[in-house]
Structure 1
Amino acid sequence: MQLITGKAKIAAVLGWPIEHSRSPLLHNFWLQRHQIDGAYIPLAVKAEDFKNVIQGMKAAGFKGCNVTIPHKEAAYQCCDIVDETAKKMGSVNTLWFTEDGKIHGTSTDGDGFVANLKDADVTLTDKKVLILGAGGAARSVAYSLIQDGAQITITNRTLQRAEQLVRDLGAGQIIEWQSWIKELGQFDVLVNTTSLGMEGKDDYLFDLQHASKDLVVTDIVYVPRITPLLEAAELKGLKTVEGLGMLLHQARLGFSKWFGVDPVVDHELTEFVANSLKK
């Protein structure tokens, strides 16, 4: 066990609730691996206390934090400096504090998603990608896919949300929710950003009969690791990419900003976090 001293670098994850977060596991795994004098802690913070907590953390010498539901939009408002990704999202999940007193912020979800696909040797440039869903996760994923040269199509139960997302992104196509199964053959990658497949939500049967044999299927859900969509794809012999890697890759930027080391996502880390999901 890595012991910490009075010089320890401290970061945190803020949410309400926060008990479900796996971020402390993976960040403290990296801290121990690199023998860094530091700690990463979970903080349960109510919405009405969020801004005061951020200012308190900065005053107390924290290096920064991750933020999760329901604080991502509020965190954006706290920032002095945000990058283009954060501006496009209108929210952030990673903050870091600099010596000049500034709060910097970005959203790492989309880049984590793309890195997870690249880890699985999936190329995205000029590939046709169908995204299920049009919420915040879909926005992050779609933006990063566009930045990587992919051609995206959005489908969502509520058509207006898909239309709004495409307008906001300034790119992409739309197909109606009722049509995506039949249209699947034209796509290279299928991405699920909806709650389909979350624990207790197995009320949807994925029909992939129209998929091409080279379709890559991925799901941002990581509990369970093999979702109904991924299971259906595997039964059809399609290449699949689990969602857990997105969680791990999106954490790298924050860790490097807070602790000065660019950590690696590897099999040892993946299995360590995956085993924790079984408990």
Structure 2
Amino acid sequence: MLEALSGATRLFIIIGDPIAQVQSPGGITREFVARGRNALLVPAQVSVAQVDEFIRGVLLAGNLDGIVVTVPHKFGAFAHCASTTDRAGFLQSVNIMRRNADGTWHGDMTDGVAFVGGIRQAGCVPEGKRALMVGAGGAGTAIALALLEAGVSELAIHDADAVRRDRLLARLAGRGAAKLLAGSDDPTGYDLIANATPAGMKHSDALPVRVELLTPAMFVGDVITSPEVTPLLTAARALGCGTQTGIGMFAAGRAMMVDFLLHS
């Protein structure tokens, strides 16, 4: 892979804060190589205060073809897109951006469909399930929409920011037949628990739900990639719950992301 790097290599970047935990640069770069493309994805640590200036600045790099966006920039990056897919436009957030022919950005949000694809691969059938999702940020917003489109019967959303939670509930109203409601950290009565927050990246983080109330029949999914098995998933597995890691979610969505970035 390294031997092929040259001045002709096409550049893609992933931006986030923090960035050290992301696992996608290697996986996406390997996917580029497997498709015969001389391209790579590299990480960039970018703060919220600097993200607008950074995105404007990288437009000057003529060999930069795309940006992958992670926490906490998915809503902010949306504002830099001249065009988006329908789902990204509805969600007003993006996790991938590619150059339009005129040099502007075109964005998409694949977190939701990747999460649902990952839980299906792990044996969870979301249709008819009662789901509790924690986190109404960029990933949570996308996952909520994807769960509704997958046919859950009920979706409860919990977020420490009640205003953000209620804004998401209002936006999703009428997007499907599922019952929508405000949730809590109590998973009692739910079939599917989704953590779409950063809680678990550090062992000192509070758990996103009350794990002592989990039962073996529940399925628990997490978006965090490092550590791959978060404290939430450790507790869920100890009880015999089915689980999906953030790595599983990324693997389920990787081909879709590369298709978009490469216009495949």
Identify the TM-score tier after normalising by the shorter chain. 0.7 to 0.9
What is residue 28 of structure 1 aligned with on the other side?
A: 29
Find out whether 1:41 has 2:45 as its counterpart.
no
Partner SS state of residue 222, structure 1: coil
Partner residue of 2:54?
50
2:210 aligned with 1:208, yes or no? no
Please tell me whether residue 123 in structure 1 is matched to residue 125 in structure 2.
yes
In 2 relative to 1, CA 23–239 (structure 1 residues): closer, same or farther, beyond 3 Å?
A: closer
For 1:219 and 1:47, the matched residues in 2 are separated by: 26
Check if 1:3 corresponds to 2:4: yes
Say if 2:172 is the partner of 1:165: no
Equivalences for residues 190-229 of structure 1 within 5 A: 190-204=193-207, 206-208=211-213, 211=215, 213-229=216-232
Structure 2 unaligned blocks of 5 or more? none
Cα separation, 1, equivalents of 2:107 and 2:51: 18
TM-score (norm: length of structure 1): 0.78
Cα pair distance change 1:200/1:231, threshold 3 Å: closer
Equivalent of 1:135 in 130, 134, 137? 137
Q: 1:53 is aligned with what amino acid?
A: G
Please state whether the residue corresponding to 1:21 is helix, strand or coil: coil
Shift in alpha-carbon separation, 1:206–1:99, aligned structure 2, 3 A: same
Q: Distance in 1 between matches of 2:244 and 2:117?
A: 11
* Change over 3 Å in CA distance of 1:53–1:68 after alignment to 2: farther
1:136/1:41 CA distance change after superposition, 3 Å: closer
Contact 1:198 1:221 in 2 (8 A): yes
Q: Show CA shifts across 1:143-173 (max 9, x none).
A: 1111222231123345444322211111542
Classify the secondary structure of the residue corresponding to 1:66: strand
User: In the TM superposition, what is the alpha-carbon distance from 1:54 to its structure 2 partner?
Assistant: 4.0
Among 177, 181, 193, the alignment partner of 1:174 is 181
Percent identical residues: 27
Paired residue total: 253
Shift of 1:241: 1.6
Gap regions ≥5 residues in structure 1: 262-279
CA distance change for structure 1 residues 51 and 109 in 2, over 3 Å: closer, same or farther? same
Between 164-173 and 111-120, the greater mean CA deviation after superposition: 164-173
Structure 1 residues 236, 31: closer, same or farther in 2, change over 3 A?
Answer: same
Aligned partners of 2:78 and 2:92 also within 8 Å: yes
Once the two structures are superposed, residues 187-231 of structure 1 have per-residue CA deviations (whole angstroms, 9 ceiling, x without a partner) of 22111223432223354461135x3x4321112223222222222
In 1, Cα distance between equivalents of 2:123 and 2:245: 13
Q: Alpha carbons of 1:195 and 1:25: their partners in 2 closer, same or farther (altered >3 Å)?
A: same
| Counterpart position of 1:146 | 148
- Picking from 74, 77, 84, the partner of 1:75 is 77
Between Structure 1 and Structure 2, the one with more helix by share is 1
Q: In structure 2, how many angstroms separate the alpha carbons of the residues matched to 1:52 and 1:203?
A: 36
Runs of 4+ in 1 over 6 A off after TM superposition: none
How has the CA–CA distance of structure 1 residues 43 and 243 changed in structure 2, closer, same or farther, with 3 Å as cutoff?
A: closer
Q: How does the TM-score come out when normalised to structure 2?
A: 0.81
Whether the aligned pair in 2 keeps the contact of 1:73 and 1:90 (CA below 8 Å) is yes
- The reply on whether 1:238 has 2:241 as its aligned counterpart is yes
Cα distance change of structure 1 residues 99 and 196 upon mapping to structure 2, 3 Å threshold: closer
Q: SS of the residue aligned with 1:92?
A: coil
Change (3 A) 1:27 1:158: closer
* Deviations, residues 58-108 of structure 1 (Å, cap 9, x unaligned): xx1432221234543342222221122212221212111133545211111
Instruction: Tell me if structure 2 keeps the 8 A contact 1:216–1:239.
Output: yes
SS in 1 for 2:157: strand
